[in-house]
Structure 1
Amino acid sequence: MSDTPRGVEHTDSIDSHDSTPKQPEKTKSRRPPNGLAVVLHHWRHLRPYWWPSSLRQLTGTFLRLCSMPVSYFSSSSDPPDSQKVREIKLNYTDCIAKAPEFTTFENMPGSAVESAFKNANSSVRAQWAKKTNTNVTLHNGRQITGNQCVLQFTIPEDMSAPILFYYQLTNFYQNHRRYAESCDLQQLKGDARSYGDITGSKCTPLYGTKANDTSKPYYPCGLIANSMFNDSFSSPVWQNPPNDGKARTYNMTNKGIAWDSDKDLYGKTKYKASDIVPPPNWAKAYPDGYTDDSMNQPPDLKQWEAFQVWMRTAGLPTFSKLAMRNDKDKLVSGIYQITIDDHFPTTEYKGTKSVLLTTRTVMGGRNNFLGIAYIAVGGVCILLGAIFTATHLIRPRKLGDHTYLSWNNAPAGKPSGPSTAMASGRESRPGDS
């Protein structure tokens, strides 16, 4: 029973005294508020799906795009970039054995002379002579009696700078594992490593010796340093310049021949001269060992770039290493002569040694292999791409086809079906068959 009489209503309720207008009730919606896409990064975008067919085609296209331009610049320019290099190579291995005594010159064998110039018909004449039992100067300034090979050759056309002078060895395996590791990096850096530190290191077996009943380490130790190439070369001398006809030297330097990164691997040694001995094959330069005399002091490996070049081992048995260079002056056509102090033996291991005078291009030296290799790789990619595309169009394979799973192709005699651990990813439970 209500306390309020019928027909009587209270008009002075709380709502009647509320000055705030009544707001319409909002309806709930699952639609995200404006701007949420920006907050959640739900922008329109493209997300490619890498199916095997598209991935094969994309990979083949990428390899073709990489290979063909390089092959074009290497071998297909007019003339090919590699063919723009001018060079002459002279093999002087048998000079001391076969060349006549200086000043009589004799033509070098045709197999010992190789050249590449713009005019293929350019005649390159090369002759040699030898000087036996003559005074030669070693890298440390010591004078000894030795042999020299004198090469005289023609340059049929001007060679633009930079002019690079290399020596080339064949059948010399610097890439042998034991040889390539045979050095002590800390010693080369300048640390005074003791005989005990060097013993048993990678320098073995050339780690040191006994001198005056005292064990001393070799400096530098190891097979690489001991077998350093020690032939030395004079700068080319122009024999027939115009006008006065006096011979002129085309000056070349042995500075700037090593990589800057290699120079950081070497430092001036902290050894005392009395604490170390030179490697066995350095006996000509240091017959009395290391002393405090200026001529017999241990070499400064930080400044000796020829040593740094030799210590960077080659990956193939035939290699060239930079000996001298001239980055400014062109080598004009004419007759030139170089004198070689012949020390390094190559006949013992059936190798050869040559000098190489060459220019270069943006693609490097004269090497047709690079262009041919890239053309071959590009051609193989085109062929394989065509085969894969044809296979996909003629007999497309359904993606995710379970018939190709290994357990659905079990050999006869073996039950088909996946092993529990491999297929289901769970352990077997009671009741599993």
Structure 2
Amino acid sequence: MASSADPSNTKLPDGTSSSAPPGTGYPDSEYESDSVSEDSSFGQKDKDKSRKPGDNAFRQQRLKAYNPVLTAKTVIPLLIAIAIVFVPLGAAMWYGSSRVQDMAIDYSQCELLASSDHFSEIPDRFTDFNFRTKDADIAHRPQWRLDTDESQPFDDERKVCTIQFEIPNRMTAPIYLFYRLHNFYANHRRFVKSFSEDQLEGKPASLNTIKNAVGENCSPLSNINGTRIYPCGLIANSLFNDTFSTTLSAVNGSSGDFEMTEKGIAWATDKNRFKKTRYNHTEIVPPPNWYKMFPNGYNETNVPDISTWYQFQNWMHTSALPTFNKLALRNDDDALEQGIYEISVGLHFPVLPYNGKKYIYLSQRSVIGGKNDFLGISWMVGGGVCFILGLSLLIINFIHPRRTGDVNLLSWNKEKAAADEKAAAAAEAATTGFEKPNE
């Protein structure tokens, strides 16, 4: 009697035999190499790679939520309440801002328009006043004169613009003197990232660090012929370097001189950021635009100490808008009395080549900061809009009231009700023998 063939024992073409699972026809070796189900490490690896969020209420978005129902009884009182809060606060902010007295004088054209031997009146388009006295009542219009500072070693750095102006009302302390730049785009991405935080903190950063650091680095002004620039970067290189006399000199004895100081013009937190450098003077060179300030480079005594250089600290805070103010001088204790004053401005920072403007800006301070009418007006406008909307909704709700929370007003329920009504009409027609006319 012939024995039945064993399907698990398969004869291969080369004469060898191999066991394979019944019904497969594959050799054991091929079957095992193609198997996935028997590879225990594969399932564990797939499990490790799973990106399924954790099974909790937060990740699976099962947290309890409150969805307020906006009804006339809730929306109208809310709008009126916002108006009641916003309008008085906006009016108070606007009033506080309107009490601030300030003065701005554009001196960009001084070296072109001012006379060198006498004072001449500054054109009205270059001045802006906000005093309690009307502009027409100011007897002494602002004037300027172009003087020369012979102590400057470079001829093009000797120009000084002397400006006279009248303060028609007493200005109470504190008094701030700012410089204002117009059309200076300090928010350019390449500009704002071009500095070394390590250098500002006093660390002797290597050339590779200040040149190639990820994020903020001094490119493209990190070194000159392999020597590190200190302070490096585009921001430091473009430092505003016009100078202002710290005394507002009284003219013709109209009042006393008014002294101001550079102390306290920087942010209080800057003392923790700006530190004296630990570089040796032989390891660094000044930025290219500072060559007139340091014509012979750095030596043992003239390396700038940025921990006490408040003008530099202010400049390193870049502004978001192309027109901005930077604090230059201040007096926190004394009032600026009525009279005619004079200030001297050393002209070193060019603005005409890029169609810019530069101003001196003298101002007080209110409870919300400097003069800013927009803030108070925006609050009043926002409150007024809320009041108008609330009043309009109140009138509409009074004339055409709407039932709230009535599910019968939902569109799908309306369709179902219409279908039910139609079916009832058809049933009634079948019972009575005549069809109900359409209304």
Query: Which aligned pairs between 1:23-422 and structure 2 lie closer than 5 A?
Result: 50-53=68-71, 56-57=75-76, 60-61=79-80, 63-75=82-94, 80-102=95-117, 104-120=118-134, 121-123=136-138, 124-132=140-148, 134-136=150-152, 145-201=157-213, 202-211=216-225, 215-234=226-245, 235-241=247-253, 248-292=256-300, 294=301, 296-297=302-303, 299-387=304-392, 394-395=401-402, 398=405, 403=410
Q: Are 1:169 and 1:319, in contact at CA under 8 Å, matched by a contact in 2?
A: yes
Secondary structure in structure 2 of the residue aligned to 1:161: coil
Q: Please state how far the C-alpha of 1:249 moved relative to its aligned partner.
A: 3.1
Give the stretch that moved more between structures: 361-370 or 88-97.
361-370
Counterpart residue type for residue 305 of structure 1: Y
Q: Please state how far the C-alpha of 1:367 moved relative to its aligned partner.
A: 2.0
Q: Please state how far the C-alpha of 1:372 moved relative to its aligned partner.
A: 1.3
Distance 1:188 1:268 in 2: 8
Counterpart residue type for residue 341 of structure 2: Y
Distance 1:61 1:269, change over 3 A: farther
Secondary structure in structure 1 of the residue aligned to 2:209: helix
Counterpart residue type for residue 239 of structure 1: V
Q: Please state how far the C-alpha of 1:66 moved relative to its aligned partner.
A: 4.5
Secondary structure in structure 2 of the residue aligned to 1:115: strand
Map Cα deviations across residues 63-95 of structure 1 (whole Å, 9 max, x no partner).
Answer: 4354223211122xxxx2222111221110000
Q: Are 1:86 and 1:358, in contact at CA under 8 Å, matched by a contact in 2?
A: yes
Q: Please state how far the C-alpha of 1:397 moved relative to its aligned partner.
A: 5.4
Q: Are 1:101 and 1:131, in contact at CA under 8 Å, matched by a contact in 2?
A: yes
Q: Are 1:93 and 1:354, in contact at CA under 8 Å, matched by a contact in 2?
A: yes
Q: Please state how far the C-alpha of 1:387 moved relative to its aligned partner.
A: 4.7
Counterpart residue type for residue 291 of structure 2: A
**Runs of 5+ consecutive residues of structure 1 not aligned to the other structure:** 1-47, 409-433
Secondary structure in structure 1 of the residue aligned to 2:200: helix
Give the stretch that moved more between structures: 339-348 or 216-225.
216-225
Give the stretch that moved more between structures: 257-266 or 389-398.
389-398
**Runs of 5+ consecutive residues of structure 2 not aligned to the other structure:** 1-65, 416-439
Distance 1:239 1:60, change over 3 A: same
Distance 1:389 1:101, change over 3 A: same
Query: Which aligned pairs between 1:5-20 and structure 2 lie closer than 5 A?
Result: none
RMSD: 2.8
**TM-score, L = length of structure 1:** 0.71
Q: Are 1:64 and 1:382, in contact at CA under 8 Å, matched by a contact in 2?
A: yes
Secondary structure in structure 2 of the residue aligned to 1:52: coil
Distance 2:233 2:101 in 1: 37
Q: Please state how far the C-alpha of 1:404 moved relative to its aligned partner.
A: 7.0
Q: Are 2:76 and 2:391, in contact at CA under 8 Å, matched by a contact in 1?
A: no
